Amino acid sequence: MKKILSAVVMAALLVFTSLAVVTTASAEDVKMVGVISKIEMAADGKSATATLKDGKSGESVTIIITDDLTLDKFKDKRIVEGDEIRCKFEKAGGKNSSKIFKKTAGC
């Protein structure tokens, strides 16, 4: 009986770890430095969308920002269009969700 229970527990553990690897592999973390070309605040003020021009490739990337600290900086005009930004975001499900969003000069 203990052998069967041990085998079932090991199988469940194997399935769990393989699913954990699949979910973490589906979201890609990207680091980028670029200049803000556009900032749009949501009507409720709980999120914003910023479009950055990548410094390396030159392509425009739209990032969704939801953290309160960065949103306050948008509202106070401490981060504005034209500022150079260092950010880290997660690409998942066709959306780019911000994890880190800071001015390169510090702010």
pLDDT digits (tens, 9 = 90+) for 13-31: 777 776 665 555 557 899 9
In 3-state terms, the chain is what percent helix, strand and coil (to 5)? 30, 40, 25
The count of domains in the chain is 1
61 within some domain = yes
**Mean pLDDT across the stretch 57-77?**
94
H helices, E strands: number in the chain: 2, 5
Range of the structural domain that residue 43 is part of:
25-101
pLDDT at res. 9? 75
4 within some domain = no
Instruction: Specify the CATH number for the domain of residue 37.
Output: 2.40.50.140
12 within some domain = no
46 within some domain = yes
Q: What is the pLDDT of residues 92-106, one digit of tens each?
A: 888 999 999 999 985
18 within some domain = no
107 within some domain = no
